[in-house]
Chain A
Amino acid sequence: MFAKLKSWLNGTPALPEGWAEKLIRDTPLLAVDLELTSLDIAEAKVTSIGWVEGGDNSINIERCGYHVIRTSGDLAQSPVIHGLTEEALTEGMHIRDVLAELVPFAETHLWLCHNAALDLGILKRVFNDTGIVCPDIVVLDTLKVAVYQLKKHYDVLPSNSANLSVCRQRMGLPAAPAHNALDDAMATMQLWFAQNQALNRAKNIAIGDLMHTQAVSCKKMEKS
């Protein structure tokens, strides 16, 4: 009840029925990353989507997904950063088909993003643009976990201290290639494993127990 009240005060919908009590170790995970043409939620085009399925500190490498999205128009600096050429983008999959693959994960998996506001904000827009109906998504934001941890040590966060590679480095994880949607999703999942270890020495942590970090939230995918 307290968690519900608190999340309402924070302006986000409460977790769907039953989620707060779910143990993290028993919850299937899906790390998702989007590569975009800009950081503007209203404008940005998705050029690729990568995801990685996992569970209790484990990633099944066979169950990774990655699609280049058919995109036209101005790609801005995106091809330079993500290594996707214009040719690859025009031959990519239609975003509608990729979204359809993602929808089934919404009810079953705890999603992981590094900066969920951006990735899920864009997803919400494209779900609405394409008219695909997607249930609410429970997401854990590794960026917010990092900020929560950093704030124990700093009043003002050092610049860049919460970006994905810096966070991984701080947790003692090996360097990983950045700016590819699949590799970033993989990197995010690994980061969460390390963060989880640092946060909870006790094992039986429920999703609701993480509310105080403000890293867990439920994102509505329908237009409100």
Chain B
Amino acid sequence: MSVVPQQVIDFLKTSAPFDQLNDDEMTALAKQANLIYLTDDNKSSLLKENAGRLFLIQNGQFSVKDSGQSERHLSEGDYFGYHALLDKVDYQLEVTVDKPGLVYCFTANAFEQACSYPAIADFFHGSRTDALQNQAVVDSNSMWLYKPVHEVIDHAPVQASEDVTIQQAAQIMSENKVSSLLITREDKLVGIVTDRDLRNRVVAKGTELSLPVSAIMTEGPAMIHQYRTMFDAMSMMSERNIHHLPVIDRHSRQPMGMITASDVVRHQRGNVLYIIGELAKADNLYELTRLSWQMPHYFASHAKRPGDFDIAGKVLSQATDIMTRKLIHFFQREQGAEPMKYSWVVYGSQAREDQTMGSDQDNGLLMERTPNESEARYFAEMAEYVCNGLAKCGIKLCDGNIMASNPELRLSIEEAQAEAREWVRQPTPMAIMHFNIFLDARCAAGDLDLFRRMQLARGPLLKQKMFLAALARHNNDIGIPLSVFQKFVYEKGYEQKDVIDLKVKAIAIINNLARIYALANGLAMPSTLARLAALPSGSGLSTKDAQNLRDIWLFLNRLRWRHQLTNNVTDNRVSVSELSSIERHQLKAAFKAIDRAQQGAVMNFSGGMS
């Protein structure tokens, strides 16, 4: 009797991508494996015996060269030998045992069988390039409208067979207090009768009430199956100008429910886009703060899927913009219009539109010219009012005092240019830490042209080679959290032992990279994804690398949003044990790709000097 020890199955169940196999397939895979204890003494004979197999490390540390690529340092959960299997090339396998340990060796046959699963094949193909195997962009869509309709319909549809009389149909409708009735033939949907049909086709024409309802129904009505999205339903309804849309089962075509125009309105109430609309209607500070404080709740209950998280930062930033404009409006209603042109400039995450729940406010004021005393007082009071107002709305005051209420951040356009010249003149590491945040800027309120003038004026300054070299070197000082053996390096001093600050250790690095390439290419937009998308050819970053960074950015952003919403926290310290096995592999791949991009930027901008 051949059986597989539980510990083998337990280990494979935590090993992406094999964790996707069912129990029988997992057992079949395990039976085609040897488990070896690989040491420096026995490696030559053991690797020879297991030549042409796929290796999966259970414990120990190994330095492996298994393809034309450079040596890789591997430890638990890592694979090697798949290059040869995928390429059908007999690459020389060189292993240095840094710490002996257990290694599973799967036969080529087992590997091929497993690769009949596209997800498993993709995993190994992707592993070759450290490409991120996620659906980042494919499944990224605006969040709320992508709810499937079956999640929205909440009761069985009111229906009648096509041979009931018109009068009976009307009675059913009034008993059930509905404005439409689904008509079926052998349980399948064939038509619909609405209040309007009763008015237009029965009462107005004096139709006989004892006729079958099929005589007055709309045959073959528009319908939607349960797995389509609310967005599909809404576009179908507006395109056809209908207020009732039957939902049917995809296979049996039996009616499952009905989406009505009022459902759409009701659904939008549970929609953060709706709350943005409401924010725009707020007429005083009290209403604005009351609505703003509902935002975390709306996010927690409506952002469920990866695609939702992709635009959550954008929605939050838009909401902060609206709050800002509202507050300025409230201030001016009391204190009168501005004495000169100004721009309310936002920096950092709000500028990039990647705010999270923990983001504090970063803003400043740009003025057309140096103000006189009363003008200065006006702007000081306005800034004070807006910054405090934002704090009341839940956007924390900035610890670093990067706020328009700080007089140093209310600059005339000349002063702003002088400041940029100063940055470029002396980009010391300390100085970069201080001004980095101002390099991501966006005009959220006030005069957009004024802001554009300032950007145009300082663009050439910020393109200077020495300056970019300093930025690239500075960015290279942040190390990705992986050890030499590709193990995660965790933050110290927290209760949970396995946390990584995804913002500091990864997302900020990508933001820095996108900023450096954007400045070098004179791109004015602040958003990281927009910058990566807009880089021209010859920018120094290939389209493929830019896309890879975008995917990684989206992936990391999803992880931190999910972390914040599921744990109800505002930090970015994601615990590795919160991640699935595949996510851990993806995270490692992401870190490695970020590391390479950092090196690449140093090569491009500081001639390899780091």
Residue numbers of A with Cβ under 8 A of B are: 25, 50, 52, 56-67, 172-174, 176-177, 180, 182-183, 185-187, 190, 193-194, 197, 201, 203
Contacts and interface: CB of A to CB of B under 8 A. Distances in A.
Nearest to B38: A57
A174 B36 contact: no
Given A64-B4, A182-B3, A58 B59 contact: no
Contacts of B37: 57-58, 190, 193-194, 197
A193 B30 CA distance: 20
B392 interface: no
A59 B42 CA distance: 14
A61 B41 contact: no
B32 A56 contact: no
B458 interface: no
Interface in B443-462: none
Contacts of A67: 1
B1 A183 contact: no
A57 B31 contact: no
Interface stretch (B96-104, B323-331, B362-370): B96-104
A56 B48 CA distance: 12
Nearest to B36: A58
Contact of A64 (B2, B46, B58): B2
B32 A57 contact: no
Contacts of B45: 25, 56
A186 B8 CA distance: 9
Nearest to A65: B1
Contact of A174 (B3, B39, B41, B59): B59
Contacts of B101: 172
- Chain A contact residues: over half helix, strand or loop, or mixed? mixed
Given A61-B31, A61-B33, A203-B41, A172 B5 contact: no
A57 B31 CA distance: 17
A180 B60 CA distance: 25
Contacts of B35: 58-59, 61, 190
30 contacts: A25-B42, A50-B5, A56-B42, A57-B36, A57-B37, A57-B38, A57-B42, A58-B37, A59-B35, A61-B4, A61-B8, A61-B34, A62-B2, A64-B3, A64-B4, A64-B5, A65-B2, A65-B3, A66-B1, A172-B59, A174-B102, A180-B6, A182-B5, A183-B5, A183-B7, A186-B8, A190-B35, A194-B37, A203-B41, A203-B42
Given A64-B2, A65-B1, A182-B5, A173 B59 contact: yes
B175 interface: no
Interface in B40-78: 41-42, 45-46, 49-50, 58-60, 76
Nearest to A196: B37
Nearest to A93: B1
A57 B45 CA distance: 10
B6 A177 contact: yes
Contacts of A177: 6-7, 10
Given A57-B37, A197-B37, 12 more contacts: A57-B38, A58-B34, A58-B50, A61-B5, A62-B31, A64-B4, A67-B1, A174-B59, A174-B76, A177-B6, A183-B7, A201-B41
A209 B100 CA distance: 23
A206 B552 CA distance: 54
Nearest to B3: A66
Contacts of A63: 2
Contacts of A183: 5-7
B18 to A, nearest CB: 14
Question: Top 10 closest A-B pairs, CB basis?
Answer: A193-B37, A176-B7, A186-B5, A59-B35, A62-B31, A57-B37, A66-B3, A58-B36, A183-B5, A182-B5
A107 B2 CA distance: 22
A56 B5 contact: no
A174 B5 contact: no
A180 B50 CA distance: 29
B177 to A, nearest CB: 56
A190 B102 contact: yes
Contacts of B10: 177
Contacts of A60: 34
B3 A172 contact: no
A65 B49 CA distance: 23
A171 to B, nearest CB: 9
A197 B41 contact: yes
B7 A197 contact: no
A50 B1 CA distance: 11
A58 B38 CA distance: 9
Contacts of B49: 58
A61 B32 CA distance: 7
Contacts of B100: 194, 197
Nearest to B39: A197
A56 B46 contact: yes
B506 to A, nearest CB: 28
Contacts of A186: 5, 7-8
Nearest to A66: B3
